[in-house]
Amino acid sequence: MAETTKLESAYSFAETLQRLRSALEGKGFTIFAAIDQREAARSVGLGMPPTTLLVYGNPKGGTPLMLAAPDFGLELPLKLLVREGPDGKTLVVYTPAAALEGKHGLPAGLAGKLGAAEPLIDATVTGGKASAPR
């Protein structure tokens, strides 16, 4: 099982971020934070390509998992890394639900509940076209 899924976006960095925020919020997810890692690098005199970490989730879905395995809170809320690659293309990286199975004592079968956003993320960044993870 791959530890991460990496998708190439059909859109610019800014449009990818906007589309992901709108799609996730439209399906009832909360965006808890959008951390502009490029800006953080600039604040200490360093440069890096556009990179933003979206922290999102839904307490209705995550809370039962943390009740079943309190240390699973290290994995929640979920995260999406949106970054510009060296070729200028926008990449979206996340940990798939299957890779979280059994972590921190989570009972078997519960991590799959976190995968609900994965098809939405894929369709949002690829424009609905099939996209093979990179």
Q: Per residue in 64-96, is it b (16+ CB within 10 Å) or e — as a string?
A: ebbeebeebeebbbbbbbbbbeeeeebbbbbbb
CA atoms of 1 and 18, how far apart (whole Å): 29
Q: Residue 77 sits in a domain of what CATH number?
A: 3.30.310.70
| pTM score, whole prediction | 0.91
What per-residue confidence (pLDDT) applies to 134?
Answer: 46
* Per-position pLDDT tens, the chain of length 134: 689 999 999 999 999 999 999 999 999 999 999 999 999 999 999 999 999 999 999 999 999 999 999 999 999 999 999 999 999 999 999 999 999 999 999 999 899 889 999 999 999 999 876 444 44
The per-residue pLDDT for range 25-64, each reduced to its tens digit, is 999 999 999 999 999 999 999 999 999 999 999 999 999 9
Residue 14 lies in a domain: yes
- What is the C-alpha separation between 114 and 119, in angstroms, rounded? 11
CB 35 within 8 A of CB 48: no
The residue range of the domain holding 95 is: 5-125
Asked whether residue 134 is domain-assigned, the answer is: no
Report yes or no on 132 lying in a domain. Answer: no
Structural domain contains residue 133 = no
Structural domain includes residue 131: no
Answer yes or no: is 53 within a domain.
Answer: yes
The answer to whether position 76 is within a domain reads yes
- Within-domain flag for 44: yes
Domain count, the chain: 1
